[in-house]
Amino acid sequence: MREITYRQALNEALAEELERDPDVFLMGEEVAEYQGAYKVSAGLLQLFGPKRIIDTPISENGFAGLGIGAAMVGLRPIIEFMTFSFSLVAFDQVVNNAPNMFMMSGGQFNIPITFRGPNGPAHQLGATHSHATENFYASVPGLKVCTPATPRDAKGLLKTAIRDDNPVLVLEAELLYSSKGMVEPPDEELLIPLGKAEVKREGSDVTVVCYAQTVPIALKVAAQLEEEDISAEVVDLRSIKPLDERAIFDSISKTHRVVIVEQDHPYCGVGAEICYRIQKDIFDELDAPILRVSQEDVPMPYNEQLEHHVLPNAEKLFAAVKKVCYA
């Protein structure tokens, strides 16, 4: 194991899959000559050439559709959106074409395409560049959605997504690109299955369900709670769809309390779906009502202090956990 950044882990995943399979190619705005808006594709143009690392015009709907067409004839495109807020321009391709083509063709066309890029609010990007899109896409039959929070998960989930025969969205956490973590060396194959959550910290008093940018917040709060004799178990979903119900239920059956912290809005959010499944299947395991910590239900402000107020943060999560534990 060695310590690398989230950005380096993604770069390794891309390089390894491009090397392994000649049908894989990367396409998007600034992925080649500029080496990626966030330098995730650094060095790939030099290694694989302009036929496999392809710069595109600023036309998300166009190059997303081109990728779907390439997937229909047997290639395995990786489409980078400079931000998933821009994927909304390609909503018709991602939602209406990619996930439906297999069924509507009577099984004649698999669509082995990966859509990837930064998702969710970052820092002072304003309302139009701060969308957390996981709840949009997870509601669409035929799409798989994963949300890696660590360098190891980023590499393993991206490699798995590229090999999947269905459309997969890898929603990367922009604020975590420079974060570091331990990852297997390149000569060891790292594949993390979609739909498999991970307990990032063991605990006995309360379960904190989180994903993406809320994972480091949850781990920070769990350490603070330990000083007050509250033992928090942190469950990182890693995949929003498929969702690892079993991991969530097993943890709650141990702790009997749960707080869900999510980076998207509360109305029709990921946390709402998880709440429904918990109360439907293991209601009797709960010793307290389920609480959620999410964005406020407003467009993202640019002002730094207002942005902090709108976002889920450690202070809000700490208070929610204390409340659910009646502390």
Return the active site residues: 60, 129
Contact indicator for 105, 128 with CB cutoff of 8 Å: no
Alpha-carbon distance of 142 to 283, in angstroms, equals: 29
Which phi and psi (to 5°) does residue 304 adopt? Answer: -65, -45
Distance CA(98)–CA(89), nearest Å, equals: 15
Q: What's the alpha-carbon Rg for the chain, to the nearest Å? A: 20
CA 273 – CA 275 distance, rounded (Å): 5
Rounded to whole angstroms, how far apart are CA atoms 19 and 12?
A: 10
Q: Which two tokens stand for residue 66?
A: 């081109």
Closest C-alpha to 74, from 123, 29, 121, 108: 108
301 DSSP assignment: P
Cα(71)–Cα(142) distance, integer angstroms: 15
DSSP state of 215: H
Cβ within 8 Å of residue 11, ≥6 positions away: 39, 40, 41, 42, 43, 44
Tokens 């194991």 belong to: 1
Residue 193 token pair: 């299955």
Task: Say if residues 76 and 21 touch (Cβ distance below 8 Å).
Answer: yes
| Distance (Å, whole) CA 61 – CA 186 | 34
